[in-house]
Amino acid sequence: MLDRRVGLAYGPGVPELVASAPGLVDYVEVPFEQLRHTPAVASLQERIPLVLHCASMSVAGFLPPTDETLDAILAETQRTATPWIGEHLAFISADGLNEASPTALTYTVCPQLSEETVERVAENLAALRPRFPVPLILENSPQYFAVPGSTMNMVDFINAVAARTDVGLLLDLTHFLITSINTGTDAVRELERMPLERVDWIQTVRPATEPGS
């Protein structure tokens, strides 16, 4: 039997909800970046287990994160006792606009979908995994446009990463639908081509309610 649990992403109203409705959800997903800037959020684990989400490792990038960042992620991994770390299959930094320094981005960006990037993901995972006592699982990024230099679509890219590594996946259905809409693919057919046996965690965002509904 599958171990099914229901979680909720952290937001301003979550602490109050957890306190007023114990047992409603099994865990709360908290971004590492939130904990880094607001450490007091970690006190939520006194009421409910936390799962660590992350957008700082640049797994699909060609510039690695700093040791300081990785050490900070490790500290939050240990403090929250998270069962795994969910990380975006994306990048957060790139070659700089000048040669002096890299360009730091404020949001994870869909990478070039190519064999070269697949190999880089495998190399990055091999370097990152030994630093953490829990598994890393990779989340599909939203794709907003055809990424220059790509030689495959998102599902082919994820399948190639799964074939090259033994990593588990975090299937973000909202990101998946965004990608299908923006690239003109059939979401249901593409979902059927996903390596669903690798999926450890599924997440989505509930659409806003229409006025009057």
Residue 58, pLDDT > 90, answer yes
What does the CA dihedral 24, 26, 29, 34 come to, rounded to 10 degrees? 70
Residue 38 has pLDDT above 80, yes or no: yes
Please state the pTM of the whole predicted model. 0.88
- Tell me how far apart the alpha carbons of residues 203 and 88 are, in angstroms, rounded to a whole number: 13
Q: What is the C-alpha to C-alpha distance for residues 42 and 123, in angstroms, rounded to an integer?
A: 31
Which class is domain 29-40+52-203?
A: alpha beta
Residue 9 predicted with pLDDT over 70: yes
pLDDT, average across residues 165-180: 96
Residue 6: predicted pLDDT: 87
* pLDDT bracket for residue 99 (50, 70, 90): low
In this prediction, residue 203 carries a pLDDT of 86
Phi and psi at 72, nearest 5°, equal -70, -40
Distance CA 33, CA 22 (A): 26
What order of strands is seen across the sheet that includes strand 50-54?
7-9, 27-31, 50-54, 85-88, 136-139, 168-172, 199-203
Q: Is the pLDDT of residue 160 over 60?
A: yes
